[in-house]
Structure 1
Amino acid sequence: MNPGALRDFRRPRLWLGLWCLAIAAVIAASLMPPPQMSVPRGFDKLEHLLGYLLLAAGAVLLFARANTQLKAGLGLVALGVALEFAQAGLTQTRTADPADALANASGVALGLLLTFSPFARGLQWLDRRLP
């Protein structure tokens, strides 16, 4: 990755590492057996939307350039689709659901909207204030 792609941080490895850890957590949660609990019908779509919204918002907070943010967002959409195929082909306890992939992509689109907000530099603000 181009070092200039990230925003100006005092701790760039920390923030990038946390974002990568969040992506790894989504991958793991997507492939492990689902928890045995009842949730309202369709609630899982909201979980997908919010999870990918947060990952895409993380990309906006991390990356300085809109084209890099968009590439990260496209990568997240591809990840969401790939995980649906993986659920169908690699697990016995999960099934692929195109509506999940759509919820993931919608979350990414919403998360990328953060780039037009003053909050897009929020992680830089936090980074400067931590000891």
Structure 2
Amino acid sequence: MSGAGPAGRTLRAFRHPVLWVAGWVLLFALVAVGSLWSADDLPSPSISGFDKLQHFVGYAVLSAWAVMLFARIRAQALAALLVIAFGIAIEVAQGLMTVDRSAESADAVANALGALAGLLLSPTPLAGALQRLDARLGRTRA
């Protein structure tokens, strides 16, 4: 399968596009649940600043998935902006909707930096990883 597909294509060429879009939505849901879940019920690492690394990695994964999902850099960049907006919204929600969590600007910065880092995947061979996996899923065995 080709990398970007025909001009104007939003998603990369997949045999199972719904699967990959649903996977991205599921990742958003997991981040939201993990971010809004009571902090008392979650393990807390003893390493100072580890939560910022968790924020960075989580949002880098959301953005990297978008790079693997969308065919064009413009759609990838818009998806990264969506991921950043989501991160800000989650921080606001933590401040408004939870009793044991608070909105932290440092978390929002870590989220945004992670989302931007995920975009760095775009010019690499890893950007086609979902397409390669999709092609393997589509192969029939004799």
TM surpasses 0.5:
yes
CA distance in 1, matches of 2:84, 2:44: 27
> What is the SS of the residue equivalent to 1:64?
coil
Q: Between the two proteins, what is the percent identity of the paired residues?
A: 47
1:1-131 aligned at under 5 Å gives the runs 4-34=9-39, 35-130=42-137, 131=139
CA distance in 1, matches of 2:113, 2:97: 25
CA distance in 2, matches of 1:122, 1:38: 31
**TM-score, L = length of structure 2:** 0.87
Post-superposition CA distance 1:49-100 (Å, at most 9, x none) = 0000001000000000110000110010011011111101111011111000
> Would you tell me which structure has more helix in proportion to its own residues?
1
Output the aligned Cα RMSD: 1.3
Q: How big is the shift at 1:36?
A: 4.5
**TM-score, L = length of structure 1:** 0.94
Q: Report the residue type matching 2:102 in the other structure.
A: T
5+ long unaligned stretches in structure 1: none
Q: How big is the shift at 1:116?
A: 1.3
CA distance in 1, matches of 2:85, 2:130: 25
Q: Report the residue type matching 1:122 in the other structure.
A: A
Q: Report the residue type matching 2:93 in the other structure.
A: A
5+ long unaligned stretches in structure 2: 1-7
CA distance in 2, matches of 1:63, 1:80: 20
CA distance in 2, matches of 1:7, 1:59: 10
Give the equivalent residue in structure 1 for 2:4: none
1:114–1:101 distance in 2 versus 1, CA, 3 Å: same
